[in-house]
Amino acid sequence: MSSGTPLGDFLRARREALMPQDVGLPEYGRRRVKGLRREEVAMLAGVSGDYYVRLEQGREFSPSPQVVEALARALRLDPAASDHLWRLVQPAAARAWGRAQGTAVSPQLLQLMDGWSTSPAFVLGPALDILACNTLAGTLHEGFSAADNLARMVFLDPAGRDFYQEWERAAHSCVAELRAAYGHDPQSARLGEVVADLSAGSAEFAGLWERHDVKPKTQEGKHLRHPHVGDLHIQFSAFTVNGAPHQQLVVYQAEPASATAAAFERLRARADLAPPGS
């Protein structure tokens, strides 16, 4: 994914995203570097310039808790980005997920999703692969060439631009979620494969990936447009799956008696009419 280290790449990207006025420093004349200088971050964090350079260059990768906290403050990291920084300084064995334990979805969860006839539901892996979905979710995504990976669907499938009414928001969200997953397992072969494919196929993805923005999946609403049932303004919930913390169960819901609820009924009718196995 990069010639540097995960920690060094993250520090560099967050440093370059800040300007002196963002952290209360004066700005004199034209700057020859993007964002803050390394020595400015070192000063704000209360560490030596040489030590900070070693962190960015990957020659030092075990900062103390005090230094991690100071770096988070100096770089103005929000809680999600701070958590990401903490994960990057941990040994691989101490990461919350460890190496993903396969992609199988439990039979009990599959049965639960299949019983939800009015709510699209699907299970995501760390790389935003759709590991399983119920019938309604499959029909919801029928306009895509393949409903296999949310990030690929957003960036590489032409249907994504129409399906996601707020495409830029969906794009930023996908990349930030992949970055959050990357913090748990920077050596993940599947994450590396997805990022490489998306970077090669989408300049927009490549640019966003280099920003190192981090955001786990939120509970914000989504505005979608299905090619046959029209606009959908949904609320959704995401749940960590017990026994498989690298998986997330995502459930889409509509406000009762709303236009979206009516559209969900039309979606269910389409699902009922679809030939078996389609």
Between 222 and 95, residue with greater pLDDT: 222
Q: For 6-90, CATH number? A: 1.10.260.40
- For position 66, what pLDDT does the model report? 96
Give 136-147 pLDDT, tens digit per residue: 999 999 999 999
Tokens of 227: 């090619």
Give 57-100 pLDDT, tens digit per residue: 989 888 999 999 999 999 999 999 999 999 999 876 666 555 54
Between 244 and 112, residue with greater pLDDT: 112
Q: How far is CA 126 from CA 174, 188, 199, 200, in A?
A: 11, 9, 17, 20
- The burial of 64, by beta-carbon neighbours within 10 Å (0-12 exposed, 13-18 middle, 19 or more buried), is given as exposed
Task: List the domain boundaries for the chain.
Answer: 6-90, 107-273
Alpha-carbon span 40 to 61, nearest angstrom: 20
Q: What is the mean pLDDT of residues 36-62?
A: 93
Give the angle 175-180-184 at the CA atoms, nearest 5°.
Answer: 140
Give 164-211 pLDDT, tens digit per residue: 999 999 999 999 999 999 988 888 899 999 999 999 999 999 999 999
Check if CATH label 3.30.450.180 holds for domain 107-273: yes
pTM, full prediction: 0.86
- Count other Cβ atoms within 10 Å, centred on residue 28: 7
Mean pLDDT of the residues in the chain: 90
Task: Provide the CA 139 distance to its chain's centre, in angstroms.
Answer: 24
What is the percent of the chain with per-residue pLDDT over 70, rounded to a whole number? 91
- For position 245, what pLDDT does the model report? 78
